[in-house]
Structures are given as structure tokens and as C-alpha cells.
Amino acid sequence: MAFSILVVDDNRLMRGMVARSVTLSGLPVSSLHEAGDGEQALALLRRQWVDLVLLDINMPVMDGETFLGQVRADARLRATLVVVVSTESSQPRIARLKALGAGFIHKPFTPESLVKAVQDLMAIGSGGAP
């Protein structure tokens, strides 16, 4: 399976860096999209098929946690795989994100941790061991 991937981060350079990490990770990619905040990302998801969202939390306009809540509340989008890529360290907030079915990797991150987070999510989605 090749992934259609959406990178959501308010920092342009960080979007590029996440995209490069995706390439380095060896994940098969069919297309790569970018959005600068949660609102842009939602709009893109509603007009374009995306398999995997790599999501920042601290963003203006709409933050990542609000975006994730809206994705899970939308019947057509709720199955989208989401991995949060954030500086977030608050255990209560990380637990909330995971309860919404998101994977989590902490910034700074390595391409290997990205692959592992995606594999873990897919294992959960297919009913296998995480």
C-alpha cells in the first residue's frame, strides 16, 4: 500500500523536514500534501483522499487537538490514520490524543520513530498486536 500523506504544521521548514523524514523512512508514498493549520487541513481532507496525517499540535487558527476531534466526529474522515508529531510532553494531553486513536511522536524525532508509529497504528487498525 502506498500512502497519500498530509503534513500539517504551521512552520514551513518543519513541514519540509517532516516530508524529508517520510522519504528517508522508506514508507511507500503515492502523494504528499501540506497544510499550515487545522482548518486548512480539514478543508483539504474534505476534497482529497488522504491515508495518513502527520499532525502538529501548536498551530494558530485551529490547533491539532481540535482538528483531531473534528476528524473523529466526521463519519467520512474518522478512519483516517493520524500521527501527532509535537513537542507536547503533558501526559494528560498525550493520553487524550491517544484516546482519539492517534499515534504520537515527540519532536525532535527520527525517521525510524515515524515508521514505528505508523506501523503500530496500522497494526491496531487491522486488529493485530500494537
Instruction: Kindly list the residues in this chain that would bind Mg ion in the complex (CB under 5 A).
Output: 10, 56, 58
Q: How many CB atoms lie under 10 A from the CB of residue 98?
A: 12
In this structure, what are the phi and psi dihedrals at residue 57, rounded to the nearest 5 degrees? -100, -50
Q: How many CB atoms lie under 10 A from the CB of residue 55?
A: 29
In whole angstroms, how large is the CA radius of gyration of the chain? 13
46 binds, among another protein, Mg ion, none (CB under 5 to 8 A by kind): none
Q: Residue 13 CB, nearest distance to Mg ion (Å)?
A: 11
108 binds, among another protein, Mg ion, none (CB under 5 to 8 A by kind): another protein
Q: Residue 91 CB, nearest distance to another protein (Å)?
A: 5
Binding another protein (rule: CB under 8 A), the pick from 36, 107, 120, 122 is: 107
